[in-house]
Amino acid sequence: MFLRPIHIIPNDTTIDFVAKRWWAFGVTILLMLITIASLFINGLNLGIDFKGGILIEAKAPQAVDDAALRSDLATLNLGEVALQQFGAPDDVLIRIQRQAGDEAAQMKAIQSVRDKLGASYEYRRVEVVGPTVGTELLHAGILATVLAMLAIALYVAVRFEWQFGLAALIATFHDVLVTVGLYSVLHLDFNLTAVAALLTLAGYSINDTVVVFDRIRETLRRQKATDLRSIINASVNQTLSRTTMTAGTTLLALLPLVFMGGQTLINFSAALTWGIFVGTYSSIYVAAALLLYMPPLRRMDVVKKPKA
């Protein structure tokens, strides 16, 4: 006995996605404008990885009183001190601005915090990042993201045609940019974990897009006299069930991390969750529709006109 494949969406759907492309383009432009405005107004909340400083993750013997702990640490005169609770009530994340001086000054600040908190605290993570290293890491992260998107576009252009590669580059850039906007709007820490989330998102997004592009290419071969608009609609409808199933199963794995992963994972899991929604939407509505505004595909040039 064979198991029947699961189809959340029927295989014979005939949704006119191309007709709705203007709404999709409008949403795309709106999200990008919000992102750009937020980046200019709020900027990015750079984490310790990029701007330098001291990060201490500790477990207290009892539930942490943020106000009392902040007051105690303020007496150390270490400058800006931020507290953040995550996970259990006795877990706390302490962020301290980088101290003037060399590495010895940073170690002295860490030791003063340990002395103030006492031996009853369990220290799970202590990190010190210098501003020069942080700047280098930020530049390297940006470069890695840009190169990844260009490599993806180049692969698609070689695997299919250059029009597909350009459409994939635009759609992937959109997905990554609006995810960066999420970090800016919600003031999430933008650190190396965030860069990893962006790179993961770029790979996930192009995976869906390539599936749609592959179906478009196959349909072009089979239906040489069919106009591109009809081919795009047919291809997106035929892959719609697969696209939604992939997004749904990925979300099943990510949502527990969003709600129960704690502060350590929230930046990664929240960005990927948002990116899956955006990437799925762009694969369905944006990426393929962009082909309508590019020079004819090579296989379309050899289409034989039906005899009159």
Q: What is the dihedral of CA 105, 110, 113, 118, to 10 degrees?
A: -130
Q: Is residue 113 part of a domain?
A: yes
Q: Is residue 8 part of a domain?
A: no
139, with CB counted inside 10 A (0-12, 13-18, 19+), is: exposed
CB atoms within 10 A of CB 113: 22
Residue 41 and residue 63 in one domain: no
The mean predicted confidence, pLDDT, of the chain is: 80
Per-residue confidence band for 10, with pLDDT thresholds at 50, 70 and 90:
low
Residue 114 and residue 202 in one domain: no
208 three-class SS: helix
pLDDT tens readout for residues 240-269 = 888 888 888 888 888 888 877 666 677 788
Q: What is the mean pLDDT of residues 180-192?
A: 86
Residue 152 and residue 102 in one domain: no
Q: Is the pTM higher than 0.95?
A: no
Q: Tell me, what's the pLDDT at 307?
A: 44
Q: Tell me, what's the pLDDT at 7?
A: 59
Give me the phi and psi of 256, to 5 degrees please: -60, -35
| pLDDT at residue 197 is higher than 90 | no
Q: How many domains does the chain have?
A: 2
Among candidate residues 129, 151, 180, the one where a domain is terminated: 129
Residue 122 and residue 148 in one domain: no
Residue 124 and residue 137 in one domain: no
Residue 70 and residue 111 in one domain: yes
Distance CA 203, CA 199 (A): 6
**CATH number of the domain encompassing residue 169:** 1.20.1640.10
Residue 92 and residue 223 in one domain: no
Among candidate residues 114, 129, 144, the one where a domain is terminated: 129
